[in-house]
Chains A and B, each alone.
Chain A
Amino acid sequence: MTEQAPAWARLLDLSSRSLNRRTVVRLGAGAVGSLAAGALLAACGGEQETQRESAPTATSVPGTQVSPTADMATTPATSPSAGEPVRGGELIYALSSDPPNLDPHISTGTAARCVKLQLYNGLLRYNDEGELLPDLAAEWEISDDGLQYTFILREGVTFHDDTPLTAEDVKVSIERIQDEATGATRKVEMSGISEITVEDEQTIILKLEQPHAALLEYFAQPETAILSKKFLESGGDPNTTSVGTGPFKLLSREPGVRIEVERNQQYHHEGRPHLDKIIFIPYQDENTRVSAVRGGDAHMADYVPWKDMQSIENDPNLRLETGQNSAFMCIQYNVRVKPFDDPKVRVALSYAYDRKAIIDAAFFGRAIEITGGVIPPQSWAYNEELEGTYTYDPEKAKQLLAEAGYANGFSVTLMSTSQYGMHQSTAQVVQNNLQAIGIDCKLELYDWQTVVQKHTKGEYQFRIHGLAPEILDPDFLTNFFASGSPHSKSTGFSDQEIDRLLQEGRAAQNQEQRKQIYKRLEQRILELAPWTFLVYRQDGEALRREVQGYKHLPGALGFFSGIMLQETWLQK
């Protein structure tokens, strides 16, 4: 890597090893989808996209020659900012919740993930267009049958305690995730790996029993971060302390009060991070969190309440970083209880909800309706033809209800939480809508913990939920709709046809083929309507003007925006 290398190449920081042809081919196939998504975003004309200068061509980057958007993708995000990044400075980040633990393998929400993204790296990483890039793995190869993954690690990476990264660390980390006792979030996905072989210091081979088209993506998430073998074996507890490879090192932590991280001088992405220090301060109250940024007590705040987005955009001292998220609000029916055991009722109700009112009341206009399937528009598997399946049509809902034998309505109880405004507001609109078509709908609002408990035990009739695809690949539907998935256990829903299609979609290697499978799958889901999808919301961070280089990542990547903190700098 030469000094003259352009910024985009420095960000990628490819090692001198050249990738073999097969890797390039496999990567090309895998990346098409996300690139298409990138192109689509660019076409939609997000402000950031149009403001980017054209960057050097990217022919040397594997898999990226397919699309001209790729070079934009690798340019460090330079939102409406000007000038060269300045090194140094302390950033105060007002977080929406206190990370209950620091263990990267156990997911505890977006705010916690934001902190963990500073401390750890995975084998791969996403760039800001959802492309998979090398991180701790410099290159990788997938066998043609999709059953063997070979990762070659980046050279010269050291942990925060100065021990070098080796294949052994990767092995220990994956085994830790697989271990029942860890309680890791990605246990199910990692359990598909039947054999882990350390080939040499820098090479590790993973063998699978069944092909899994989306597996690679999981290696880009902090929930599969690589921990230090030495640290774990010497009894280190990643819950309270941290030895990672990330751009920042843990400096101090007082639960509920603050977490401080400082620059990792040996970070393997040259020139990053720009900041000396980040201080994360959790704010229990969203209004106080916003006031903190407004008043200048913090440089940025996550999860800006939707009601405040407009006024933050209007404030000359502030900037709102937002993007169309693929997180969505939906209604889940417990299909064990009458009348929700009848698909006709679920279909009928799907016409009863005024999605526009939800967008106004819960999201103050910062959301878009879902009238079709839930695979988001940013995805290559998006099914445009399904748009308009369920629109707001109370008359039709009434008529369908009558056909299902409920001309006089029925009495039901809707479960939601008082703890999150968006859940509560959505629930209030839904209750209102159902009452309008003659259904006696009671509202039960619990605190979030109780909701979780009742959800797990299936003790509700129907509920409001806010969920998000965990990966960009449409395989995310497995965790929602496969028999035996936590959600299906909760709702009691299962369908053999859906299970079969999910299996097929995961095993198929060809993207066009997969697209067809997921289309059929989504049609089936809409026909049976085990859930009703309502709206996609926009999430956003509030930034003071001096904060530069940060960007809210689009789509499902929104939850990974914390990765941009290593690109962030403070204007003097």
Chain B
Amino acid sequence: MTAVLDSPPRGAARPRSVTASPRLAGLALAVAALGVLAVLSVTLGVRDVSLEDLLAALGGLDENVSQAAVHKRLPRTLLAMLVGAVLGLAGAVMQGVTRNPLADPGILGVTAGASLAVVVGIAFAGLSSPTGFIWVAIAGAAVSAVLVYVVGSLGRGGATPLKLALAGAATSAAFSSLISAILLPRIAVMDSFRFWQIGGVGGASLGRIGTVLPFLLVGTLLCLVVARGLNSLALGDDLAAGLGERVALTRAAAATGAVLLCGAATAVAGPIGFVGLVVPHACRLLVGSDHRWLLPLSMVVGAALLTAADLVGRLVARPSEVDVGIVTALVGAPVFIVVVRRMRGRTL
């Protein structure tokens, strides 16, 4: 991940890209903000940690409560950053692949698919291990992503924002009623499902991060490789093909990557909505629509957003916590509405 951030995308150094330096400044700013947030996330919480203790704990010491707190918050911060980064990336890629400004794993029903799969897994296959959850969640995410996209792109005009959003909302509704049907007579399953959902980023451990890491890496790689292809795809399939892009391959790679990321992120942290929607829109304001810049920046900003959301959730309700998911939803839904309001009648 850092390797990608360190090496600026190709073409950035060429003299004709006069906009490179503001973009670079934006990226640097985002990275700096992420750094600050990461430090805050480790230090602030029910018990605030002094800088001294922080450094000592990072050095491996575990002698007092503060240092222990740091050790507890480290994996959590790491997970928030990872999940935020991949959700931001997945959102940007989904918006690129579907050429649809409203694409988001939550809106498109992908997280609902992952949830349903996990419920089915717990109830009928006796699933209990985190690794099992991941495979099942990814499978569920993939199935619902394909379903929603196919249904949403039928008919005139292809996958318009309205059709995709409706297909996603309807699929989510259908899935959640299936979830209730499975859960209602099974109190035990309801509880372990809740336990999975409650995970958020609060229940993070290095072990859990380790389980999802391979999936996240593969997904991230797939998404970043197709960045240039997404730029061509943005012009429409026919034009992209005319420019020599292998449209089907690019689209398949990008979609696979995005689904892997959503599924794995949902598996480890539960459903977190709107990050994938909001982040790419914010990033487009900073660096424009060139995916070679947009994708890396979306990762950084996504990581920063989720870290911040987690931090806010921890601070507003001390000593209790508010889930990141609800924080991102409360921040994200207004952004969604602004995007919808800005869209012109015809593009709906």
A joins B in a complex: no
